[in-house]
Structure 1
Amino acid sequence: MIVSRTELVLGRIMLVVVLLLTLLPFASMITAALQSPDKIPSGFSIPLHPQWSNFATAFTQGNIGPLMLSSLFIVVVTVPVTLLLSTLAGYALGNLRIPGARIVLIAMVLGLTIPFEAIVIPLYYQMTSFGVINTQWAVILPLIGLYMPFSVFWMRAHFVGVPPELSEAARVDGASISQEFRQIQMPLATPALSALGILLFLWTWNQFLLPLVMISDPNKRTAAGALGAFQGQYIDALPLLFAASLLVMLPTVVIYVVFQRQFIKALLQGAVKG
């Protein structure tokens, strides 16, 4: 397909415009965070005397350090467990002829339609019956279950797209199902797993409602969940609130920038298969 010079120029101009529209709110937050704590930011204005100390003040007064460690613990447990279970389930549903696979797949798709807010209260009473309320496990266990429908559907889509000749050749050579899964399927699933891991990390780190409901102790919540309490406590110090928000956002931005190649590769791989 030949693209004319006019189309190329217009495409680049459109990309620049979209980039500016995307970065403008982020830049506005940075300038607002650098304002004096007793000043109410209005619009996009670069301060003459940037208050970089606002970030240190927000980090200390917002107790962001321990809350980031709490968020990290939830991520370190939730993401690997979800990846492991969804990979096994996706491989079984997409590559193995197991009884009832279609019913399980339909149940997973129906799970995607359930609004998260509609089951928060039942989850609260269930976690209370488990005896894990007001702990990080009250967030980890529901998140694993809530992520499974999408994760299984994602991994199944990958395994369905793998040529069946590879599995047949491995089994002809005497490989067992577990050997085929470890030595053939898993290396091919690396892009899909990387992209899914990034999505799960972003969703888990930015989880706001569940920690707020499940954990009553502010010191045990996540960094994102702490912003609600921070906002109520420092409602008159908007620059500190903006600084705290940027600190909470920083890990997600770093993760995406570092692993963006794997994420784009997985999306392009799915587009080619489709």
Structure 2
Amino acid sequence: MIGNRTEAVVGRIVLIVVLLVTVLPLVSMLSAALQPADRNPTGLVWPSDPQWQNFVTAFEAGHVWQLMRSSLVIVLIVVPASLLIATMAGYALGNLRIRGSRFLLLLFVAGLTIPFESLIIPIYYHMKSLGLLNTPWAVGLTLIGLFMPFSVAWMRAHFVGVPTELSEAARVDGATVWQEFRRIQIPLAGPALAALAILLFLWTWNQFILPVALIQDPLDRTVAGALTFFQGQYYASIPLLNAGALIIITPAIVVFLIFQRQFIKALLQGAVKG
């Protein structure tokens, strides 16, 4: 009993520390963003007269609305396609146990070790040869390929943990592979798919280097590039820079908060299987 209580207390302390480490920077950014635009904030001090207008100025100066639309287009290209391909590939590698599946898995794992920066120049010339430069497809198709190793490994880890008895029972009932995949495996993969969708959204939304390399018009890039507009005009204003940064990261935080239960459920599901 004493050991269990000690573990519970230590666990709560760790959670509190992690919570403070996570929340305090956001609170500090918010307090800085609400300071007068012509002052440099010092320390974590809530202003007596919060300047909420700073967020409006940051939103307009950073062309945030247009960049959000560009980011959303790329997200709609990357996330659905990545989920579809990764789910089918993960099912084939984890449940069907096709010939050479271990070798294919090693290839996907090897893809995780390749530095992203080393691929930018080859990707640029490849997209140029396809005539896709300066379009959302250049970024979207590239991100699908770059995210695929992790996505396939993630979904395979789920399907490996699904009891084989379910597949055998479906086959006995006369279900085809496609019917089993669609009616049994996909519903069971809901938490894993939701968690992967969150990760893909966050990675795509925060992508900066690739859009800069593949899209010439700054207004057609992702929202992560909004600060580049802002720094040119208000580079010396710490409150306005903080306001712009908060606007950019708010959608990602909102999406995570909405789907956090599915994300945690997928992690716990994997832990139980392991």
Taking structure 2 as the reference length, the TM-score comes to 0.96
Q: Distance in 2 between matches of 1:115 and 1:241?
A: 30
What runs of 5+ residues in structure 2 fail to find an aligned partner?
none
Of stretches 39-48 and 51-60 in structure 1, the one that deviates more from structure 2 is: 39-48
1:110 paired residue number = 110
Instruction: Name the amino acid aligned to 1:178.
Output: W
1:98 paired residue number = 98
Q: Distance in 2 between matches of 1:4 and 1:112?
A: 39
2:133 paired residue number = 133
Instruction: Name the amino acid aligned to 2:82.
Output: T
2:187 counterpart of 1:166: no
1:39 deviation in Å? 1.3
2:52 counterpart of 1:52: yes
1:156 paired residue number = 156
1:233 paired residue number = 233
1:115 deviation in Å? 0.8
The question of whether the paired residues in 1 share the 8 Å contact of 2:94 and 2:157 is answered with yes
1:4 deviation in Å? 4.4
Instruction: Name the amino acid aligned to 2:28.
Output: S
2:14 paired residue number = 14
Please state whether the residue corresponding to 1:43 is helix, strand or coil.
Answer: coil
Instruction: Name the amino acid aligned to 2:59.
Output: F
1:7 deviation in Å? 4.2
1:234 deviation in Å? 2.1
1:219 paired residue number = 219
Q: Distance in 1 between matches of 2:185 and 2:89?
A: 13
1:6 deviation in Å? 4.6
Q: Distance in 2 between matches of 1:160 and 1:172?
A: 20
Alignment length (residue pairs) = 274
Residues 233 and 137 of structure 1, relative CA distance in 2, 3 Å threshold: farther
Q: Distance in 1 between matches of 2:20 and 2:194?
A: 28
What whole-Å deviation, never above 9, does each CA across 1:81-100 have from its counterpart, x for those lacking one? 00000000011111113232
1:121 deviation in Å? 1.3
What whole-Å deviation, never above 9, does each CA across 1:13-38 have from its counterpart, x for those lacking one? 33223212221111010011111111
Instruction: Name the amino acid aligned to 1:17.
Output: V
Instruction: Name the amino acid aligned to 1:78.
Output: V
Of stretches 47-56 and 16-25 in structure 1, the one that deviates more from structure 2 is: 16-25
Residues 226 and 127 of structure 1, relative CA distance in 2, 3 Å threshold: farther
2:73 counterpart of 1:64: no
Residues 10 and 159 of structure 1, relative CA distance in 2, 3 Å threshold: closer
What whole-Å deviation, never above 9, does each CA across 1:215-254 have from its counterpart, x for those lacking one? 1211101111222342233211221111111111111111
What runs of 5+ residues in structure 1 fail to find an aligned partner?
none
1:121 paired residue number = 121
Q: Distance in 2 between matches of 1:182 and 1:204?
A: 27
Q: Distance in 2 between matches of 1:142 and 1:135?
A: 12
The question of whether the paired residues in 1 share the 8 Å contact of 2:77 and 2:137 is answered with no
Instruction: Name the amino acid aligned to 1:41.
Output: P
Instruction: Name the amino acid aligned to 1:271.
Output: A
The question of whether the paired residues in 1 share the 8 Å contact of 2:68 and 2:222 is answered with yes
Q: Distance in 1 between matches of 2:46 and 2:114?
A: 44
Residues 65 and 154 of structure 1, relative CA distance in 2, 3 Å threshold: same
Residues 50 and 138 of structure 1, relative CA distance in 2, 3 Å threshold: same
2:245 paired residue number = 245
Q: Distance in 1 between matches of 2:18 and 2:149?
A: 32
1:212 deviation in Å? 1.5
Instruction: Name the amino acid aligned to 1:196.
Output: L
Q: Distance in 2 between matches of 1:97 and 1:4?
A: 42
Please state whether the residue corresponding to 1:25 is helix, strand or coil.
Answer: helix
1:167 deviation in Å? 0.4
